[in-house]
Amino acid sequence: MKRKIDVWDYAGTIMKAVETGALVTVKANGKVNSMSIGWGALGIEWNTPLFIAYIRESRFTRELLDQNPEFTVNIPLGECDPYILNLCGTRSGRDTDKIAELGLTTVEGETVSVSAIKELPLTLECRLIYRQLQDVPAVAEQLRAIHYPEPYDIHVAYYGEITAAYILE
């Protein structure tokens, strides 16, 4: 069962989870991939509720998202097996079916073609409305030295309109 929620009632929970680990799930060409994220933003732009996911250019998740402009954000509520976030953050979906290896339960999306993940039940369904490659020279030098050593593996900011928000029960 999906219990609809107001995103703004859960904004603190969502952002705290992103800080400690959440998943972005994508799907294209019959492949589903979940990637751990520790960077993200929740907000309103163009009078539209958004989740912004920052994904490095080299990631398989970026390849799939560029093919199918839809994604889900999967947020743990309460205890979450740290192995899920660890595996999804250290293995590539190019050569690992993370969903199968972890035995995760997928639940069909309501407004997007990408599944929710039952084990991380707070779900945002998002449809891409804008993407922007980060301008590394514009990043403050002290941050650039830490996050973008040469050769650069730049983040792309994916602005997803939140089309549905719910908790899987």
pLDDT band at 79 (very low <50, low <70, confident <90, very high): confident
- Could you give the 3-state DSSP secondary structure of residue 103? coil
Band of pLDDT at residue 35, cut at 50, 70 and 90: very high
Q: Given a cut of 80, is residue 152 above it in pLDDT?
A: no
pLDDT at 52: 98
The H or E element containing residue 164 is strand 155-168
Distance of CA 71 to the CA centre of its chain: 7
Mean pLDDT of 27-38: 95
- Best CA proximity match to 51, nearest among 65, 64, 63: 65
Task: Say what percent of the chain tops pLDDT 70.
Answer: 100
pLDDT of 153 above 90: no
CA distances from residue 69 to 102, 159, 167 in whole angstroms, order as listed: 25, 10, 22
User: Sorting pLDDT into bands at 50, 70 and 90, what band is 78?
Assistant: confident
pTM for the model: 0.94
DSSP state of 153: -
| Cβ atoms 22, 120 nearer than 8 A | yes
DSSP H helical segments within 32-165, as ranges? Answer: 60-67, 82-90, 98-102, 141-147
Supply 43's token pair: 């907000």
pLDDT in tens, 95-140: 999 999 999 999 999 999 999 999 999 999 999 999 999 998 899 9
- The pLDDT of 43-56, averaged and rounded, is 97
Q: What are the structural domains of the chain?
A: 2-168 (2.30.110.10)
